Amino acid sequence: MPAGQVLLFTSELGDADPALLARPDVRPFSWPGLLRAVRDPELELLEVAEPLWVGEWVRALRSIALVKVLRAARPGRRRVRVATYAIENLDARERLSFRSLDGRPVLGAAATRLATLGLGLSLLLLDTVVFGTTGASENYRRAFGWSLRRARHTVLTPRLDTCRVCGPPAGTPRDRTVLVLGAPSARKGFSVLMEAWERAGVVEQGWRMVVCDPAGEGEPPLPAGVSIRRRPPREVVHELLRSSAVVAMPSVRLRRWREQIGLPLVEGLTHGCRVVTTTETGLADDLRGHPLVTLTTPGDAASLADGLRRAMDPPEDPGSGDVPRPAGYTKRDVVAWWLARADR
């Protein structure tokens, strides 16, 4: 996290980095904590949750209003710019639809249009936006292009060059392992992956599949060559990423959910793994042509099996870490872009 930044978090995921949460500048959100930050005369940027995370955005609007009122009451202090980092890949209108109106299509469509208009108007409060993927940028442009014209915005994809924990890939031959990071769930395409694994027929060639399940719940049926590691510590995950040849993330789209970026995809590439994924991730357009990425048809076991076989038998040496790949951007780069003035 860049120096000079204070993170007030409103919720905590189960796989949150304990080292990050232990930092003194990272703490749970509270109104007194926000008031202390706003009183800081050096404050120049307020980062808020992205607008399509509607529950968090409603809370963010209260924070934006508080900052603007308090700064207006103290003329002479520097203006605080409002920024967001957006990665939502699910169509904005579907994201804003009302489940309770599923059985009333006309009323549901009208309510969704009103919600889209209201959210678009609230986007006028933003000064600067960084989209984490081209997919997210296009999603917002389609629904809110008119309201984003006021804000500076750009696409800065995640950094993909080297893991900051493990360093550059060693260049040694990788184990014949396909690594899956995430719960064996429907939205992660697990059933399709199991069918594709059997279709690929690679167990006899010494290949195995390891599923790292952070939740550690359930006992799904597994074909030969597949095992599950439940709730592995982060050091074990990094060890598997350093040694595995392939990372698989065959996400599929479900109603009201679509893969945004896909942390397993990013982690696989930063460790020099070959990655097999689908076109459902928001990064799909940014990674077309990437030498380590194989894109497959979502929900199609035959396409996924073919993608797995191609990743397992690539034209390049499996241990080669010299294949050129895009570097991407860090959070420090994102903050620097937010702070850069338009007239520079």
Strand partners, 230: 213
Residues 150 and 190 in one domain: no
Residues 252 and 307 in one domain: yes
Residue 91 domain flag: yes
Residues 216 and 280 in one domain: yes
Q: Which residues contact 342 (CB under 8 A, 6 or more apart)?
A: 152
SS (H, E, C) the chain: CCCCCCEEECCCCCCCCHHHHCCCCEEECCHHHHHHHHHCCCCCEEEECCCCCHHHHHHHHHHHHHHHHHHHCCCCCCCCEEEEEECCCCCHHHHCCCHHHCCCHHHHHHHHHHHHHHHHHHHHHCCEEEECCHHHHHHHHHHHHHHHCCCEEEECCECCCCECCCECCCCCCCEEEEEEECCCCCCCCHHHHHHHHHHHCCHHHCCEEEEEECCCCCCCCCCCCEEEEECCCHHHHHHHHHHEEEEEECCCCECCECCCCCHHHHHHHHCCCEEEEECCCCCHHHHCCCCCEEEECCCCHHHHHHHHHHHHCCCCCCCCCCCCCCCCECHHHHHHHHHCCCCC
Residue 342: pLDDT above 60?
Answer: no
Average pLDDT, integer, range 146-150: 92
Residue 115 domain flag: yes
Residue 137: pLDDT above 50?
Answer: yes
pTM of the model: 0.88
Residues 97 and 218 in one domain: no
The pLDDT value recorded for residue 118 is 96
The pLDDT tens digits of the residues spanning 92-116 come to 999 999 988 888 999 999 999 999 9
What's the CATH number where 180 sits? 3.40.50.2000
Residue 193: pLDDT above 60?
Answer: yes
Residues 119 and 198 in one domain: no
Residues 234 and 285 in one domain: yes
Residue 145 domain flag: yes
The pLDDT value recorded for residue 341 is 67
Residue 319: pLDDT above 50?
Answer: no
Number of domains the chain contains: 2
The pLDDT value recorded for residue 45 is 92
Residue 324 domain flag: no
The pLDDT value recorded for residue 305 is 97
The pLDDT value recorded for residue 325 is 55
The pLDDT tens digits of the residues spanning 200-214 come to 999 999 999 999 998
- Amino acid at the residue 258: R
The pLDDT tens digits of the residues spanning 38-76 come to 888 888 899 999 999 999 999 999 999 999 898 888 777
Residue 166 domain flag: no
Domain that holds residue 231: 175-312
pLDDT range class, residue 266, cuts 50, 70, 90:
very high
What's the CATH number where 139 sits? 3.40.50
State the burial class of residue 56 (Cβ atoms within 10 Å of its Cβ: 0-12, 13-18, 19+). Answer: middle
The pLDDT value recorded for residue 57 is 94
Q: Could you give phi then psi for residue 318, rounded to 5 degrees?
A: -55, -25
Residues 317, 319, 322, CA angle at the centre, nearest 5°?
80
Tokens (6 digits) for 148: 């984003």
Asked if residues 238 and 144 have their Cβ atoms less than 8 Å apart, the reply is no
Closest to 221 (Cα-Cα) out of 245, 197, 196, 191: 191
Torsion of CA 211, 214, 216, 219, to 10 degrees: -30
Residues 126 and 249 in one domain: no
Residues 203 and 301 in one domain: yes
Residues 105 and 189 in one domain: no
Asked if residues 1 and 7 have their Cβ atoms less than 8 Å apart, the reply is yes
